[in-house]
Amino acid sequence: MGDDMKKIVILSLLIVSLTSFASDEDRWVYLSQHSDGVDTYYDAKTIHKKKIGNRNFVDVWVKTIPDRCYTKPDGNTCYTIAKHKFDCENRRWAVTNLAVIDLMSHKKLSIFNSEPDYTDIYPESEIEFVFSKFCNGKIS
């Protein structure tokens, strides 16, 4: 392969890798900032809606980024990624998967997985805001 062809191949690979990186960054869409300063995002690529009987359910991954990570002794910043499951008709929700991840190294600091244990959504809570975005058709 000639030098010109190698340059074209390398340039093409670079463009493809940058494009895929950019699209991965675009997957997290800003949702809100909590009253305590925590930023919340949802993963636009993993919203899953299903209907069972006359009930609608929505699964979505949510990322929260606090000002300070209290699970680490040095207090460095971390974020959580959690799979939220919403039962829209009964105004209930559950978290089935959760990971606390270091913001700089992207290493998982802790992981939690469980079966859904639904609980009520309280009025005027932060989760009610998220629930309303997905169950009231504002985000699809």
What pLDDT is recorded for position 68?
Answer: 66
In angstroms, the CA 100 to CA 69 distance is 9
Strands 78-87 vs 55-65: parallel, antiparallel or unpaired: antiparallel
Can you read off the two tokens belonging to residue 28? 């997290």
In angstroms, the CA 63 to CA 45 distance is 13
Give the per-residue SS3 of 72-92. Answer: CCCCCCEEEEEEEEEECCCCE
Give the per-residue SS3 of the chain. Answer: CCHHHHHHHHHHHHHHHHHHHHHHHCCEEEEEECCCCCEEEEECCCCEEEEECCEEEEEEEEEEECCCCCCCCCCCCEEEEEEEEEECCCCEEEEEEEEEEECCCCCEEEEEECCCCCEECCCCCHHHHHHHHHHCCCCC
**pLDDT tens string for the chain (140 positions)?**
555 544 343 333 333 333 333 345 678 999 888 777 788 899 999 999 999 999 999 999 999 887 666 655 555 667 889 999 999 999 999 999 998 888 777 788 788 888 889 999 999 888 898 899 999 876 65
